[in-house]
Amino acid sequence: MYFIFRCDCGRVLYAKEGVSTRKCVCGKSLKVKKRRIFKKVESIEEATESVQKMQEEIYGRSTFKKANEIPKKRFLN
Ligand SMILES: [Zn+2]
């Protein structure tokens, strides 16, 4: 089982059941049990897919990259 939840910064994360803390790319450590769980899924594939879908809804498909590819700093033109 994997839990889908969001960080305060807005990013969508997933954590495997039993994992107590998850660190977001923004640097914040999140206690999984204290987060509101949006979704529970069975497999890692569903977890990554759910995260991707939620990120797309939030940020839009065009700007979305895989969660681990989101740069820490935004590039300004
Ligand atoms: Zn964050």
Give whole-number Cα distances, 58 to 14, 17, 53, 65, 67, in Å: 16, 25, 9, 12, 13
28 alpha carbon to ligand 1 midpoint, in Å?
Answer: 6
Could you give the CA distance from residue 2 to residue 16 in angstroms, rounded to a whole number? 4
43 alpha carbon to ligand 1 midpoint, in Å?
Answer: 23
For the chain, the structural domain boundaries read 2-69
11 alpha carbon to ligand 1 midpoint, in Å?
Answer: 6
Could you give the CA distance from residue 63 to residue 48 in angstroms, rounded to a whole number? 17
Q: Please report, in tens digits, the pLDDT of each residue of the chain (77 residues total).
A: 999 999 999 999 999 999 999 999 999 999 999 999 999 999 999 999 999 999 888 888 665 555 555 565 555 55
DSSP state of 22: E
73 alpha carbon to ligand 1 midpoint, in Å?
Answer: 13
39 alpha carbon to ligand 1 midpoint, in Å?
Answer: 18
Confirm or reject CATH 3.90.820.10 for domain 2-69, answering yes or no: yes
